[in-house]
Structure formats: C-alpha cells, structure tokens
Amino acid sequence: MLHLQPRVKVKVMRIGLLAARAGVTTSRIRFYEAQGLLPPPPRRHSGYREYDERALEIILFINRARGLGFSLAEVAAHLDSPQDHRRKSRLLSKMEDKIRELDSHLADLQSRRTTLLNLATELRRNMAQDQ
C-alpha cells in the first residue's frame, strides 16, 4: 500500500450523473447555479463541474418545493435564510400562505369548470335544434 486515501473520501460526480440522479436536465442545474440556488461547485482543469452529494440534496429539495407550488424566488429565500429556530416558523407561515393561495386558485378553477359545463350543455341543445 503505497498510497493513503484521504481520511474523508468525497464521492464526486459530473453534471450529467447528478442530473440523472435528480431527474432533471443539465441545463436546469446550470440555471439553478446562475440563479444562486445552487452554490457553484469546484471545477476540473477542463472546466467540468464537480459535484458532491449535497448538491443532489439541494436539487431534490428544490424539486419538492416546486412540486408544492413554491416559486424559485421563494425557494431561494428559504435556502438563504439562517438555520435558526425561527426558520421553521417562517416556513410554516409560508406553507399556510400557500394553502390559502391554493384554495383561491381551486375555487377559481371550479367556477370555470361550472361555466364551461353550462356552456357545453347549452351548445349541445343549440346544435340539436339545428337538426
């Protein structure tokens, strides 16, 4: 054994593997970096980005939050906020806001649906008379 491995061996990966593991495109990852959501990773001499597991966790977090309807700006604000005990209470109030937003959006879609159904019914009757 001529070589000692460093004590902390960090597995690294290039952007393509990270993207595949996170289920996103590489361009999306570069976009998140450009927007400040993902810290710029170290580069190889070739310029290739070199990621570790934390990058994967951040992307998965963003994915979840986006899936719940948070904007990237909202996600960024949360990622930037200090990790103290007030973080949770801020997060909770954001979630409550989001639920209220969803409720009004749902009501809106429901009323559209009703209107469309009524119009469709009217139109069908109308067409039957044309016969």
Partner DNA sequence: TTGCTCCTCACGTCACGTGAGGTGGC
Neighbouring CB atoms inside 10 A of 70's CB total 18
Q: How far is the CB of 113 from its own copies (least distance, A)?
A: 5
Q: Is 42 in the site for DNA (CB under 7 A)?
A: no
State CA 50 to chain mean position distance. 21
- Per CB under 8 A, the segment of 16-24, 25-33, 54-62, 94-102 that binds its own copies is 94-102
Q: Is 115 in the site for its own copies (CB under 8 A)?
A: yes
First to last CA, the chain: 91
Closest to 52 in 3D by CA, of 22, 6, 18 = 18
How far apart CA 72 and CA 112 sit, in angstroms, is: 28
- Per CB under 8 A, the segment of 19-27, 35-43, 47-55, 104-112 that binds its own copies is 104-112
Interacting residues toward its own copies by CB under 8 A: 67-69, 85, 88-89, 91-92, 95-96, 98-99, 102-103, 105-106, 109-110, 112-113, 115-117, 119-120, 123-124, 126-127, 130
